[in-house]
């Protein structure tokens, strides 16, 4: 055992004044209490900003590793199918958002050919969106948390969508005859969240649905909304959409007020008020 005494923390010079805002940085990743050196920001904050900006740019352009995602789904016991939007590549996708909302001809034909005789209650779509990193990291753990909470509900095959926007799920769900479609899609990266996953739920999906007709749960990641919390909210909304026969602004997330129960086709005991704006659509 060493006889050396522990190194004492460096003393703070008496002319340095403590910043009352600094302690708040323990509660948020927002850029607060950055400090300054003269009339400029400190070197460490400038370097941290540059790193965060680079990570956000990389998240937008990083391709989705579909093979790895398919392997993970197989290992978890899920069937999957791969589709692609009408945007041919990433540059095309970023310039033409409209093409990310429709399937290419090959994918459309593939889904039409595999439409089940018994329509699934829910089809889950894993999509790259604006952050493939988010889908790569969080889509499968979230799906497993969701499956653990589902009973007596028919899940269709998991669809992996490349160069996808949110509305692509409407086309996918309609072709598979799904009662509801759930999009797990990478959100636009922020400077503190390059891997944030969004969930979009649409009842009776079909092309032409608007954002007002779907519900959103955002910022799903360990540093944001946990997989368990997101799955609880999603199960509540799935159940409510089945009871109301619609999703979107008419479907209010009261999951914090009600106990969750397994999904069934019967209305819940506690009704969800119609015509109540949702917190995320």
Measured distance CA(227)–CA(106) in Å, rounded: 33
**Can you spell out the DSSP letters for 49-98?**
HHHHHHHHHHHHHPPP-HHHHHHHHHHTT--EEEEEBS--SHHHHHH-GG
> H or E stretch including 20?
none
Among candidate residues 125, 137, 173, the one with its CA nearest the CA of residue 62? 137
Q: How many helices (H) and strands (E) does the chain have?
A: 7, 6
* Structure-token pair, residue 155: 């899940």
> H or E stretch including 135?
helix 132-147
User: Please, are residues 169 and 200 in contact by the beta-carbon 8 Å criterion?
Assistant: yes
Residues in binding site for adenosylcob(III)alamin: 166, 187, 216
Among candidate residues 230, 188, 192, the one with its CA nearest the CA of residue 52? 192
Among candidate residues 209, 225, 222, 202, the one with its CA nearest the CA of residue 278? 202
Measured distance CA(162)–CA(156) in Å, rounded: 18
Residues in binding site: 166, 187, 216
């Amino acid at each position: 055992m060493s006889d050396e005494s522990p190194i004492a923390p460096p003393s703070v010079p008496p002319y340095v004044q403590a910043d009352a805002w600094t302690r708040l940085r323990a509660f948020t990743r927002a850029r607060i209490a950055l400090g300054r050196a003269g009339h400029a920001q400190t070197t460490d904050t400038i370097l941290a900003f540059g790193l965060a900006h680079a990570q956000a740019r990389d998240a937008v352009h990083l391709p989705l590793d579909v093979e790895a995602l398919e392997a993970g789904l197989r290992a978890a016991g899920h069937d999957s199918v791969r589709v692609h939007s009408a945007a041919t590549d990433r540059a095309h996708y970023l310039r033409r958002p409209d093409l990310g909302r429709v399937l290419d001809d090959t994918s459309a034909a593939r889904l039409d050919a595999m439409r089940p005789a018994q329509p699934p209650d829910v089809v889950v779509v894993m999509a790259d969106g604006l952050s493939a990193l988010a889908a790569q990291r969080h889509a499968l753990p979230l799906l497993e948390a969701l499956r653990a909470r589902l009973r007596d509900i028919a899940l269709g095959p998991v669809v992996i969508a490349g160069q996808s926007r949110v509305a692509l799920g409407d086309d996918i769900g309609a072709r598979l005859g799904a009662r509801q479609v759930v999009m797990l899609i990478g959100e636009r990266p922020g400077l503190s969240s390059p891997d944030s996953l969004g969930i979009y739920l649409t009842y009776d999906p079909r092309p032409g649905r608007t954002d007002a007709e779907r519900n959103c749960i955002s910022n799903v990641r360990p540093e944001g909304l946990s997989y368990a919390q997101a799955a609880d909210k999603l199960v509540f909304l799935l159940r409510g959409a089945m009871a109301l026969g619609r999703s979107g602004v008419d479907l209010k997330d009261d999951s914090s007020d009600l106990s969750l129960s397994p999904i069934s086709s019967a209305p819940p005991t506690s009704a969800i008020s119609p015509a109540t704006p949702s917190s995320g659509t």
